[in-house]
Structure 1
Amino acid sequence: MASNTELNIGQKLSEGKTKQIFELVDQPGLVLVQSKDQITAGNAARKDQMEGKAAIANKTTCCVFKLLQESGIKTAFVQQHSETAFTAAHCEMIPIEWVCRRVATGSFLKRNPGVKEGYRFTPLKMEMFFKDDANNDPQWSEEQLLAAKFSLAGLTIGQCEVDIMKRSTVAIFEILEKAWATQNCTLVDMKIEFGVNVKTREIVLADVIDNDSWRLWPAGDRSQQKDKQVYRDLKEVTPEAMQMVKRNFEWVSERVQLLLEPHGSGRVVVLMGSTSDIAHCEKIKKACTSYGLPCILRVTSAHKGPDETLRIKAEYEGDGVPTIFVAVAGRSNGLGPVMSGNTAYPVINCPPLTPDWGAQDVWSSLRLPSGLGCSTILAPDAAAQFAAQIIGLSNHLVWCKLRASMLNTWVSLKLADQKLQACSL
């Protein structure tokens, strides 16, 4: 949704082949990113005007960044301002294009003769290119990037920063790959850029991600490609050819909105043996909410009211919504095993342990009769995470939150280690 706020636009800070960046006089630390109708190839060796491209590109970028932000990826994006522009945090850009490849094609084949088109990279293939139009954006090594000692917004780009960008690039690609798979589209490769937020001195995903940024093959078929490669491959630029290119860009901008919609449902139902366990259950619910999972709390005792426990179970089995049951029962846990023996849905034991008999009580969750398959996880947030991992198999939005959470945990550890090392020196 575009913002209706009037902006006091200041001087132009920079201009590229497809966009302009303006300062916002009344909002220090923010900029306006204005898309252009120009389309280019080969570092602008070929360039043409494509009416409506600015709006198409802006719509695509805003949807992509919204998906990434809602997943938990740190980006410069703030909000869409108009059909052709969005606001973002002011960043000093790191002059590197990070390229992530799932399928070998394009320039990779030229630089690596003998590799057949369609070769699948597992793990992903990472490359980086120094942004230098005069020299056709030469490929750089990690050692060259470190040797450059870029200093941006007061942050020097060292090994820690390079590692964060590498790890982030992979996570960002995998999130978008997972999302596009819901539309039966293969994300073949993608280029992204990072910047340093001038206010926070934090590395964030910046610039844009639109149909110029990737190769996208519906059904994994190159002949159906919908990205800018269609424009690159034109032998002659005619009005008819440009209309075909525009239709492809519109196709992508229409479907990219669908990436924000869940393609699968799911919920977590927490069954507690007593309201004395409510604080423990609320922790599970809070963690479920962070993954976008509906979480319902119920009270039932498999020992004192097995008929009611099975009635509640049937209530959630009967509407067709995939459900994960979490059993919260201390002392002698009959709740989880009884549920597991009477439902085909997954059951997770998450007993609230007490300091006196906790170590003994947990055995009632671990030692189960044959034919029962409920797992046992002691930490409430971990139980919610496990439930999210199960639901994430069919719901890409939940999976994306999990993937971003993995990245953010890794980054926080990396930064903590860097800070500790700096204090030790």
Structure 2
Amino acid sequence: MIPLEWVARRVATGSFLKRNPGVQEGYWFDPAKLEIFYKDDENNDPQWSEEQVIAQGITASGVTVKRPEVDLMKRVTVLVFEALEKAWDLKQCALIDMKVEFGVTAEGELVLADVIDNDSWRVWPAGDKRLQLDKQFYRDLDAVTDDALTKLKENYAKVAGIVKSFTTPVKGRAVILMGSKADNAYATAIQDACSNLGVPAIKRVSSAHKTTDTTLDIIAQYKSDRVPTVFIAVAGRSNGLGPVTAGNTTFPVINAPPLNDTWSSQDIWSSLRMPSGLGCTTVIGAEEAALAAAKILSLVDHMIFGRLLVQQLKSFVTVMKADAAMEKDNDLKIVSPFARKYSVANLNGH
């Protein structure tokens, strides 16, 4: 374990107010406020800056905590907080703050290594501190009575029930409309990319030019069941499918034309230059189409929202590892004359 506690805060309350006099309770942090505390019971877990963490040279399982490790812990802390915040928000509860810790595996991998439960966060139903459901209720008691303990147990049972409902089936879907069966391979790639993000995707075939009435009937099928839906129009050559769909539904419509090297420069304009009043968007590539659909659906679905956060984290880690590998390969060392270290004596002398 790395002896650090990472705290993410959305609202100023509790110990933060004591350490930061002048800040009013309820101050809203956007982005979330991050704080680091060194685990030292004898000194009441002092707050540390990122610079103190790096300068300390903490080592766990052979890994020394440096700037990349600090950056990764920051990002994971925010990811976990935002994912849980979204889940709580959909239950009409505000996640006020949260604490997590990290560790390093025997293989040298930095991981979140903590239990996240009702002792780790503050949760206020409807954002009302008086209704708090977490351990802070117990800490704030003037006297521990049987009635207070009963209330505490009720709070914990309620939180357990809510948290159990966090894992839910996805609420939305993507409907991939193909202009012809020839687009099936590309549509399947979009469907697979949607699946990776937890978005159910349905494939349909209908030509807006040749079978207009059928296209309108298919669109109408997805209006009545109240499932949040994003249409992805896959049509090569002249794209009439996207505009017709967008003009006959209030659901978002994404054009994802299957471009090729022969006519791409001409065909793309039928997806970009839309008639007014449609609000149709265009992306290039199967993964981009799936991502665009997932981001729209994440507004109403915390499961998809969490998957998007994880994908962004994976992208960050990939770039971070590539940079670390590149840094090792750099043989040229240029030392700036301003980079030399001064001793305390030298500084006093100047």
Q: TM-score, normalised by structure 2?
A: 0.91
Kept in 2, the 8 Å contact 1:160–1:415? The answer is no
Alignment equivalent of 1:144, drawn from 31, 52, 74: 52
Match of 1:90 in 2: none
Alignment equivalent of 1:228, drawn from 127, 135, 149: 135
Alignment equivalent of 1:278, drawn from 172, 176, 184: 184
State the shift of 1:322 in Å. 2.2
State the shift of 1:187 in Å. 0.7
1:294 is aligned to 2:209: no
Unaligned runs of 5+ in 1: 1-92
Match of 1:103 in 2: 11
1:172 is aligned to 2:80: yes
Which residue type is aligned with residue 271 of structure 2?
S
Quick one: distance in 1 between partners of 2:315 and 2:174? 24
Q: How do 1:4-403 and structure 2 match up within 5 A? A: 93-199=1-107, 201-262=108-169, 265-403=171-309
Deviation per CA, 1:151-197: give whole Å up to 9, x if none: 21121211000011011111111111111011111111111001112
Which residue type is aligned with residue 159 of structure 1?
R
Quick one: distance in 2 between partners of 1:323 and 1:209? 33
Quick one: distance in 1 between partners of 2:2 and 2:65? 9
Quick one: distance in 2 between partners of 1:407 and 1:267? 24
Q: Could you say what secondary structure the match of 1:100 adopts? A: strand
Q: How do 1:407-422 and structure 2 match up within 5 A? A: 407-422=313-328
Deviation per CA, 1:65-121: give whole Å up to 9, x if none: xxxxxxxxxxxxxxxxxxxxxxxxxxxx11000011111111111111111111111
Which residue type is aligned with residue 181 of structure 1?
D
Deviation per CA, 1:386-412: give whole Å up to 9, x if none: 111111111121112112222221222
Quick one: distance in 2 between partners of 1:319 and 1:216? 33
Unaligned runs of 5+ in 2: 332-350
Kept in 2, the 8 Å contact 1:272–1:299? The answer is yes
Greater share of residues in strand: 1
Quick one: distance in 1 between partners of 2:2 and 2:283? 42
Which residue type is aligned with residue 281 of structure 1?
A
Report the number of matched residues: 331
Q: Could you say what secondary structure the match of 1:124 adopts? A: strand
| CA 1:373–1:241: 2 relative to 1, 3 Å | closer
Deviation per CA, 1:255-313: give whole Å up to 9, x if none: 11121125x72111111112221111111101111121111111111122112111211
Deviation per CA, 1:347-406: give whole Å up to 9, x if none: 111011111111111111111222222111111111111111111111121112112222
Quick one: distance in 2 between partners of 1:95 and 1:363? 57
Quick one: distance in 2 between partners of 1:230 and 1:357? 66
Deviation per CA, 1:28-69: give whole Å up to 9, x if none: xxxxxxxxxxxxxxxxxxxxxxxxxxxxxxxxxxxxxxxxxx
State the shift of 1:237 in Å. 2.5
Deviation per CA, 1:195-224: give whole Å up to 9, x if none: 11213x211111211111011111111111
Quick one: distance in 2 between partners of 1:338 and 1:288? 23
Q: TM-score, normalised by structure 1?
A: 0.75
